Amino acid sequence: MDLRQLNTFLTISKLQNFTAAANELGYAQSTITTQIKLLEEELGVRLFERMGKSISLTYEGTKLIPYAKQMLKLDNEIRTAVFNEEKPSGTLVIGAAESLCVLRLPKILKEYKNLYPEVDISLTFGNCSTFRDMLKNNLIDIAFSLGRKIDSEDFIADTEIEEEMLLLSNTSNPLVHKDTIYPIDLKDQFFILTDKGCSYRAALENILKENNIKPKIALETSSVQAIKQFTISGLGITMLPKVAVKEELESGKLVKLNYCGPNLNIVSQVLYHKDKWISPAMKEFMILSKKYLGQ
C-alpha cells in the first residue's frame, strides 16, 4: 500500500476538497485524483462520495482514517529510529584487552553512558589474535586491542598509539638496584606471565630465546590484576603495559626495572571491520576513545 496515497487520502478528508488538497500537497489535481482511484481499486471500495463540487467520506472511507493515520505514524517512527544519527541507541558490542579495561575503558564508558543511556553495552575480553576472528565474524562491533599492531586490509584502525612496556618487580628484588639490566641478567629470574595467546608475552619469550634463556615460569594467568598482586608478593618479575600499572608505580608497590634491550613496546588500537556499517553508537564511542586514549 502506497503511503503517499494514504497521506493524500487523509489530506482530502481533512479539507473536504480535491483542489485544496492538491494545493496543500503541491500536486496537480489530476495526480491526487489518480492516487485516490488507485487506492480505491486496491481496497475494492469507494472512499468518497462525489456530489457535484462537494465530496464526503463513505462509510468505508471513515473506517480507513484511523488505520491510515496509524500507518503514517509508524512510518515516521521507523524513519526516526533508523536514520536519526543524533541519538545513538541499540547495542554496542566491544572486544577489549583486559589491560586497557584497567585504566582507560572505565572513564570512556562512564562518559559514554552519561551521554547515551539508551545504548546497551556488551563487553568481552580478548587479545589481538582473537579480535581478528571476532571482527570478521561480526561477533563484536569494535576491538579495543593491545598488542602487536593489527595491520590488515580487512580492518580499519580509527585510533592508534604506542604503549610503553615495563619490566617490573617488587621492591625486594636485587634487580631494582642495577643501573642497567640486559636480557642475560634475567636468566635466574622467575617470571609471572600472561597466557600464551598474549602478544607481549611472545615478544619477551623471543628476546629470551635469542639470548639462549629458557624462562623459569612461576605462574601464568590471563588476569592482569592477579599478575600484579603476585609480582608485588615477590613470586617473580613480570612485564606489563605502563597503562596497567600506573597506580602501583605511584604507590611504590611495583618498581620499574632499568631494562636495556630490544624494544618491547606494543600498540593500542581501536579497530572495526572495513565492511562494518558505522552506527551512531559506534561513531560516538570512537570519538570518545580518541579523547581518552593516550591519557
The C-alpha atoms of residue 272 and residue 1 are separated, in whole angstroms, by: 39
**pLDDT tens-place string over residues 201-229:** 888 898 999 999 999 999 999 888 999 99
Whether the pLDDT of residue 147 is over 80: the answer is no
**What's the fold here for domain 3-83?**
Arc Repressor Mutant, subunit A (1.10.10)
Domain 90-163+267-292 is found in CATH 3.40.190.10 = yes
Q: What is the CATH number of domain 165-264?
A: 3.40.190.10
Q: Given this model, what pLDDT does residue 117 score?
A: 92
Where do the domains of the chain lie?
A: 3-83, 90-163+267-292, 165-264
Whether the pLDDT of residue 167 is over 70: the answer is yes
Q: Given this model, what pLDDT does residue 33 score?
A: 93
**pLDDT tens-place string over residues 103-120:** 678 889 999 999 999 899
Domains 90-163+267-292 and 165-264 fall in the same CATH topology:
yes
276-289: average pLDDT: 90
Q: Given this model, what pLDDT does residue 160 score?
A: 84
* DSSP-derived pairing of the beta strands 142-147 and 266-273: antiparallel
- 106 pairs with which residues across the strands? none
Q: Given this model, what pLDDT does residue 85 score?
A: 55
Q: Given this model, what pLDDT does residue 263 score?
A: 85
pTM for the full model?
A: 0.61
Q: Given this model, what pLDDT does residue 1 score?
A: 80
Whether the pLDDT of residue 102 is over 90: the answer is no
